[in-house]
Amino acid sequence: MGKFDNVPSREEVLRRYFKIWTPMAETESIPVDEALGRVVASQKTTLYDLPVYRASAADGIAVKGDDFKDKMPDTSNFKLGVDFVRADTGDDFSDDYDTIIAIEDVVSMEDGLKLKDDVEVIPGQKVKDKGSHVHKGEIYLTKGNRLRPTDLAALVMGGHKDVAVIKKPKVAYIPTGSELIPEGCTPKRGENLNSNSILVENFLIEIGAEPIIMPIVRDNKRDLKEALYKASSKADIVLISGGSSKGEEDFNTKLIEKEGSIFQHYVACVPGFPLGIGFFENKPIVNLAGPPIACYNGLDWCVRALIDRWYHRKSLSNLEVLAIADDDIRVQKECSLLVKLNLYYDEDNKLHAVPLSHHKDSLVSCLTTEGQIRTIMGGEQIKKGDTFKVELLVHPNEIPRK
């Protein structure tokens, strides 16, 4: 029997899981100046007209349109404060005036008003009417919008000081493994640095979740159980890594099964195929594989999908571009493979991808690539020289040249 017999694809697992898990995200009202990146919970409309009354559309002077109605008047006796006043871009001005002449068309304002010879003045010109910048009641942000700096400015301009957003999902993470030591410690024989906590924490921040990172738990059933209950009491979603496979101390999946439920153990997605997903105290729980690249893979396909589901949005997946394969990429029938790719531009500005192997290449090199690909189960083989779609993990201008 093969390792992947009867093991479902990640798409199939998510499809089935989302049939039974439909989060009803709560909303909260927060100050607009703390809302960068947050997701709008309900449609926003503007509260006021802007300009409130009217405003000059140019730096210049305000005059009385009637004076210019039929023909150009003799302005040599015009008096500042009587026949005209200063009115610059955005300024409101007295009701005595209704027309703006741009300052570029004014030769002098001393001893009467002197305008340029070829100036035409149409009564009512260069005036922004009430509501011409912002019209009261205008709909301009809808549910699901992720707030950008310009959206925050629009909210303020629309009269809002606070905004209703979808609450971020609180996601607890329990790193497990008796061999793990905290960051910055010097590893001794048999020990390994815990790099998953910082990975999970910052990955969660980037996808719009609120991380709750718990201390390392040794492979000890009592401590693991206690940590799971503690995590689920604090969080909306629980993540735990390690202990998902067939090792002697791989208690986690069994423990989740016993205290909660395992919806699916093993997914045809490598590395990290012993991933488990289920429910614990009625909350989603994901048991990620322990090795860092496997843990990353689970975050990238599974946890990201849970967070998108939380917000009821389509996946904010990595953008794809075309690249030339510098080596063959193994495509398997029975599982999807995450292949990390070093990207570079050649002399002709063509993008190339060098596949790494998470078996042969170092972990740090696999974690720091500019690109990646998830092969399609049973998809076409990718041969050296082929052009294929790669996921970008950096800005195109951050890809090196060779």
The minimum distance between CB 244 and a copy of itself, in angstroms, equals 10
Stretch 250-269: interaction string toward a copy of itself, x if CB under 8 A: x-------------------
Residue 75 main-chain phi, psi, to 5 deg: -100, 5
Among 12, 15, 29, 33, binds a copy of itself (CB under 8 A): 33
Q: In the beta sheet, which residues pair with residue 270?
A: 337
Q: Does 118 bind a copy of itself (CB under 8 A)?
A: no
The minimum distance between CB 219 and a copy of itself, in angstroms, equals 9
The minimum distance between CB 371 and a copy of itself, in angstroms, equals 12
Q: Does 273 bind a copy of itself (CB under 8 A)?
A: no
Sole window of 10-18, 71-79, 197-205, 255-263 interacting with a copy of itself (rule: CB under 8 A): 197-205
Nearer Cβ to a copy of itself (213/281): 213
Nearer Cβ to a copy of itself (215/385): 215
Which residues, other chains included, contact 287 with Cβ-Cβ below 8 Å and sequence gap of 6+? 240, 241, 243, 244, 252, 253, 256, 265, 275, 276, 277, 278
Length of the chain: 402
Q: Pick out residues in 310-349 that bind a copy of itself (CB under 8 A).
A: 313-317, 319
Rounded Cα–Cα distance for residues 283 and 301 (Å): 19
Among 80, 122, 363, 376, binds a copy of itself (CB under 8 A): 363
Which tokens belong to 384?
């050296």
The minimum distance between CB 71 and a copy of itself, in angstroms, equals 26
Q: Does 92 bind a copy of itself (CB under 8 A)?
A: yes
Rounded Cα–Cα distance for residues 188 and 382 (Å): 41
Sole window of 19-27, 118-126, 152-160, 229-237 interacting with a copy of itself (rule: CB under 8 A): 152-160
Q: Does 46 bind a copy of itself (CB under 8 A)?
A: yes
Q: Does 150 bind a copy of itself (CB under 8 A)?
A: yes
Among 120, 248, 347, 348, binds a copy of itself (CB under 8 A): 248
Sign of the Cα torsion 10, 13, 19, 25 reads negative
The minimum distance between CB 269 and a copy of itself, in angstroms, equals 17
Cα 57 → chain centroid: 37
C-alpha to C-alpha distances, 104 to 6, 79, 382, nearest whole angstrom: 78, 19, 65
C-alpha to C-alpha distances, 228 to 39, 197, 247, 279, nearest whole angstrom: 29, 16, 20, 11
C-alpha to C-alpha distances, 109 to 106, 113, 115, 204, 283, nearest whole angstrom: 7, 5, 9, 62, 74
